[in-house]
């Protein structure tokens, strides 16, 4: 890991060195003879497997607590990629493995022992998801059977094996993807069904575009304009409070305190007037307004923005401009978790152990 001046506050490098010192002292010099070299290398690979399994368990905890949000990352994926420095595909695999391990104990043990690679775990996780959307939610036993079957198989063998088990073998072949094509262009692969093709053909008749890419670009621009206008639209049907409910900015905590609302929520409307939404949008410029208290950096996310009550309504917050902000989904969740309005261990307790 590169020590970054911006983030040294978070990481106590003395503590980090303590954690890693056993390993580094043990293996600083290469063994003198071949037998020792082979032993040491096997030991290191076992350590790596165990470290990977432990890393995945830690990622799971980070995900439960949305701890990545503290450093302004909008998602666990962004955290793993940018903070931990993994390549996109490696980050994807670790998170897929985390999701698999979350629902399957056997997978956890197999990763730990090296019987299941991260690639295998990713394939398995994708398969379970695809089966679920095909109407076949697999139980532990069915999952365990497949896990036993793919142990030790190569990526291609696993792919072939899982495809043969699929309820709907078409789905994996329709997987969307993006790939760098040239220095300036990205290849985007999508699949349209008959309805989608009809729309595309109709659009081609109506719009003069040089290429399908130009047509898509224009369509996306229109869609984004429409959505951004929509950010200024009314959310709910209840009426706005007419009274001025101003509280000084200094009384608004950055994230609400960790107490659960007792009894009924106060009768303050969630209604956010159009002119508020416009002003929030003008201020945020369509970007999450979360600023990390740690690094002072602002969350870069522009996706799925919610208007958030800085001090929640349930805790006496009001619907007024200085108590409202744009947050991405990740930071909105984190704020709710910290306010005690959501519980991190909710999914944990219902999970099979
Ligand atoms: Zn955010």
Which residues are in the CB-under-5-Å shell of ion ligand 1? 74, 288, 290, 299, 301, 328, 331
For residue 289, the domain's CATH number is: 1.10.30
β-pair type (186-189, 177-180) = antiparallel
Query: 123 and 160: one domain?
Result: yes
| Alpha-carbon gap, residue 267 to 247, rounded angstroms | 17
| Residue 122 to residues 91, 112, 131, 142, 253, Cα–Cα distance (Å) | 11, 15, 14, 17, 40
Examine residue 182 and state whether it is found in any structural domain, yes or no: no
**Does 60 reside within a domain?**
yes
Residue 111 lies in a domain: yes
Q: 73 C-alpha vs ligand 1 centroid, how far in Å?
A: 6
CA 299 – ligand 1 centroid, Å: 5
Mean pLDDT per block of 10 residues along the chain (353 residues) reads 51 72 68 82 87 94 93 94 94 97 93 92 94 90 96 92 86 78 89 88 84 89 79 43 39 42 49 87 91 88 88 86 91 86 51 39
**Ligand 1 center from residue 333 Cα (angstroms):** 10
- Same domain, yes or no, for 19 and 121? yes
Please tell me the total count of domains within the chain.
3
Distance 246 CA to ligand 1 centre (A): 26
Q: What distance in angstroms lies between residue 38's CA and the mean position of ligand 1's atoms?
A: 47
Residue 156: predicted pLDDT: 92
Do 51 and 15 share a structural domain?
Answer: yes
Alpha helical stretches, state H, the chain: 13-26, 34-65, 76-78, 88-103, 105-113, 118-133, 140-150, 155-165, 194-206, 212-230, 274-284, 329-338, 346-350
Note down the domain range covering 146. 5-170
Pairing relationship of beta strands 306-309 and 186-189 according to DSSP bridges: unpaired
The verdict on 149 and 45 lying in the same domain is yes
Q: What is the pLDDT of residue 60?
A: 95
State the distance from the centre of ligand 1 to the C-alpha of 63, rounded, in angstroms: 15
- Out of 170, 204, 222, pick the residue that ends a domain: 170
Q: Indicate if 203 and 123 belong to the same structural domain.
A: no
CA of 329 to the centre of ligand 1 (A): 7
Domain edge (last residue) among 230, 257, 279: 230
The reported pLDDT for the residue numbered 349 is 39
Distance 214 CA to ligand 1 centre (A): 31
- Ligand 1 centroid, distance to 74 Cα (angstroms): 4
Neighbouring residues of 113: CB distance < 8 A, sequence distance ≥ 6: 49
How does pLDDT run across 343-352, given as a tens digit for each residue?
A: 654 444 344 3
Q: Does 89 reside within a domain? A: yes
Same-domain check for residues 22 and 151: yes
One domain for residues 273 and 197: no
Same domain, 288 and 144: no
Output the pLDDT for position 148: 96
Q: Are residues 12 and 95 in the same domain?
A: yes
Tell me how far the alpha carbon of residue 69 lies from the centroid of ligand 1, in angstroms: 7
230 Cα to the center of ligand 1, angstroms: 20
208/259 same-domain check? no
- Give me ligand 1 centre to Cα 269, in Å: 24
Residue 345 lies in a domain: no
Residue 178 lies in a domain: no
Tell me if the pTM is above 0.85: no
Please check whether residues 89 and 134 belong to one and the same domain. Answer: yes
How far apart are the CA of 34 and the centre of ligand 1, in A?
52
What pLDDT, on a 0 to 100 scale, did the predictor assign at position 267?
38
19 in any annotated domain: yes
Rounded to whole angstroms, the Cα distance separating 339 from 336 reads 5
* Same domain membership, residue 285 and residue 226: no
298 pairs with which residues across the strands? 291
What pLDDT is stored for residue 253 in this prediction?
Answer: 44
The verdict on residue 21 lying in a domain is: yes
31-75 tens-digit pLDDT = 778 888 888 888 888 888 889 999 999 999 999 999 999 998 999
CA of 167 to the centre of ligand 1 (A): 37
Contact residues for 36 (Cβ-Cβ < 8 A; gap 6+) = none
C-alpha 298 to ligand 1 mean position (Å): 8
> What's the gap in Å between 133 CA and the centre of ligand 1?
29
């Amino acid at each position: 890991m590169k020590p970054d001046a911006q983030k040294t506050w978070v990481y106590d490098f003395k503590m980090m060195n303590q954690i890693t010192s056993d390993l580094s002292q043990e293996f600083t010099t290469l063994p003198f003879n071949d037998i020792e070299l082979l032993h040491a290398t096997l030991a290191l690979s076992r350590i790596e497997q165990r470290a990977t399994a432990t890393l995945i368990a830690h990622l799971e905890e980070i995900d439960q607590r949305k701890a990545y949000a503290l450093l302004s990352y909008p998602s666990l994926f962004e955290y793993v990629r940018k903070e931990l420095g993994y390549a996109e595909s490696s980050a994807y695999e670790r998170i897929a493995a985390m999701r698999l391990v979350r629902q399957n104990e056997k997978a956890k043990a197999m990763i730990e022992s090296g019987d299941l690679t991260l690639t295998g775990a990713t394939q398995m996780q994708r398969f379970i998801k695809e089966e679920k959307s095909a109407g076949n939610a697999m139980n532990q036993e069915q999952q365990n059977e497949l896990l036993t079957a793919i142990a030790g198989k190569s990526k291609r063998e696993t792919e072939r094996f899982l495809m043969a088990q699929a309820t709907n073998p078409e789905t994996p072949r329709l997987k969307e993807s993006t790939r760098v094509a040239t220095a300036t262009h990205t290849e985007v692969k999508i699949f349209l069904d008959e309805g989608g093709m009809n729309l595309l053909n109709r659009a081609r008749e109506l719009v003069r575009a040089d290429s399908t890419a130009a047509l898509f670009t224009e369509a996306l621009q229109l869609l984004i304009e429409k959505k951004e206008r929509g950010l200024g639209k009314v959310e709910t049907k209840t009426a706005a409070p007419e009274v001025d409910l101003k509280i000084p900015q200094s009384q608004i905590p950055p994230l609400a305190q960790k107490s659960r609302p007792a009894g009924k929520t106060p009768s303050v409307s969630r209604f956010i007037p159009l002119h508020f939404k416009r002003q929030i949008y003008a201020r945020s410029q369509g970007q999450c307004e979360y600023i990390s208290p740690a690094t002072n950096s602002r969350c870069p996310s522009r996706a799925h923005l919610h208007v958030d009550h800085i001090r929640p309504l349930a805790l006496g917050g009001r619907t007024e401009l200085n108590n409202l902000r744009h947050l991405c989904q990740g930071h909105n969740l984190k704020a709710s978790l910290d306010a005690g309005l959501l519980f991190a261990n909710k999914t944990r307790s219902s999970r099979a152990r």
